[in-house]
Amino acid sequence: MTDALTLSDVSAARGPNRIWSEGSFSIAHGSIVAVIGPNGSGKTTLLEMMLGLIPVASGHLRVLGEEPRRGNDRIGYVPQNYAAETGEGIRCRDLVSLGRTGTRWGFGRRSRDDRARVDAALAAVSAQGVARRRLSQLSGGQQQRVAIAQALVGDPEVLLLDEPLANLDVRNQHEIVTLLGQLREQREVTILIVVHDLNPLLSILTGAIYLLDGHAHYGAIGDVVDSDLLTHLYDAPIKVVRTAQGDLFTRG
């Protein structure tokens, strides 16, 4: 089976400014991978290249064996600040429908298959109870569930999430992390998550892409959660602690 993501000597740039280079690695189907690095290191840029929103500066990048392209329904995407970019009056069910019907939203009646896909996506994130409510009326955790449902409604093989745990309390972070682990098991979807704090995700991560010294690297999570590597990455002292049960967590 083709890997979910393959980079061969890839460089990323914004306009004339090169952000990182020498990205050469592959990520297997069914992985849950964190994308980490200091601010401005190009984490969101990687997701945008995968989505075909910006070009690869050099090298070759393949998603599910294909060159990146806009509107690839094999990829689901949850951007940063999802709730802030939506209208306050729109219902959650209609937002999820947008991920299925695209530009047809608001025109005519949705097909039976469209409605079934929306129902399934809401059920997958346990958000059926808020389907008729407006997004602005929901808690941060509920809003994130609706955002993930919209990304799932097209039944993607790869799911990209940009800072999905930002501004969530500990309980909601735990619930979203648990949900992502369930989605991987139930849907066999590959998940990439841009995140600053690895700790909430360590129980489900299989690996991490880390952007260090202007280069892109990938490693198994047990190799990346290393005091020296993380201290260098964030330019601040990071200690890695292993509990008696074998669990890892980082401490600044």
What is the rounded CA–CA span in Å between residue 90 and residue 85? 11
What is the rounded CA–CA span in Å between residue 219 and residue 184? 19
Task: Evaluate if residue 21 carries a pLDDT over 50.
Answer: yes
Q: Tell which CATH classification among 3.40.50.300, 3.40.50.150, 3.30.110.40, 3.40.190.150 matches the domain 1-71+198-252.
A: 3.40.50.300
pLDDT at 22: 96
Q: What is the pLDDT of residues 41-77, one digit of tens each?
A: 999 999 999 999 999 999 999 999 999 999 999 999 9
What is the rounded CA–CA span in Å between residue 149 and residue 99? 9
pLDDT at 242: 77
Domain residues of the chain, as ranges? Answer: 1-71+198-252
Q: Which residue has the tokens 């980490």?
A: 36
- Mean pLDDT of all residues in 67-96: 87
Give the rounded percent of residues in the chain with a pLDDT score beyond 90. Answer: 79
Work out the number of other CB atoms within 10 angstroms of the CB of residue 50.
Answer: 24
In single-letter form, the type of residue at position 141 comes to G
What is the rounded CA–CA span in Å between residue 25 and residue 5? 8
Q: What is the pLDDT of residues 135-188, one digit of tens each?
A: 989 999 999 999 999 999 999 999 999 999 998 999 999 999 999 999 999 999
Work out the number of other CB atoms within 10 angstroms of the CB of residue 94.
Answer: 20
pLDDT at 104: 46
Mean pLDDT score of the chain, rounded to an integer?
91
Which conformational region is residue 76 in: left (phi greater than 0), alpha (psi within -120 to 50 degrees), or beta? Answer: beta
Q: What is the pLDDT of residues 93-148, one digit of tens each?
A: 999 998 876 644 454 466 888 889 999 999 999 999 999 999 989 999 999 999 99
| pTM, rounded to two decimals | 0.92
